[in-house]
Amino acid sequence: MKNVALKSLFIIVVITLITFSCKKSDVEPTMPVGTGEFAFASTKYSGGCFAVPSSSCSGSTDVMIVSDNKVNTLIVYNMPDNTSGTYTISNGWNSATDCGVLYVLAVKDASGITASINGTLTKTGATTFALTTSVTDDPSTSASTATTARGNYQKL
């Protein structure tokens, strides 16, 4: 009888430990291939996420998230090929012709182009990434807008 009671107590302790030690993961699930989202000035956009060979920098890849409304777009120039790592996003106003520099441009509501002034991009897999950057439409001012994005790009 003592063995049954000890086994029952052991099972209850194990179940209690498992129940209270499990927690929801802080990691967001991976997005489906070919999808992405970005937030610009607290407005969220989502849509297709695609990678194309750079038209201006041989050997580089540019990644774009095109919103479902086809008006708002975020472009990451010179996406790192690595499958992991954190990278510095440079000032797009100063880097637009530099093939070795990672920078971001965003087209907002077809009313203008904004460029990154700083930020970080983290590769979380061969085709997955997340970024946080500040963008501005006037390189002569310190006013900027926080922009975040994440995606799982499809190579075209």
DSSP characters over 97-130: T-TT--EEEEEETTTEEEEEEEEEEEE-SSSEEE
pLDDT tens-digit profile of 57-71?
A: 888 899 999 999 888
Query: Residue 64 carries which DSSP code?
Result: E
Q: How confident is the model at residue 9 (pLDDT cuts 50, 70, 90)?
A: very low
Q: Which of 59, 55, 36 is nearest to 47 (CA)?
A: 36
> What gap in Å lies between CA 139 and CA 126, rounded to an integer?
32
Average pLDDT over residues 53-57: 86
pLDDT at 13 over 70: no
Average pLDDT over residues 40-66: 91
Question: What was the pLDDT predicted at 93?
Answer: 86
Question: What was the pLDDT predicted at 129?
Answer: 97
Q: How confident is the model at residue 14 (pLDDT cuts 50, 70, 90)?
A: very low
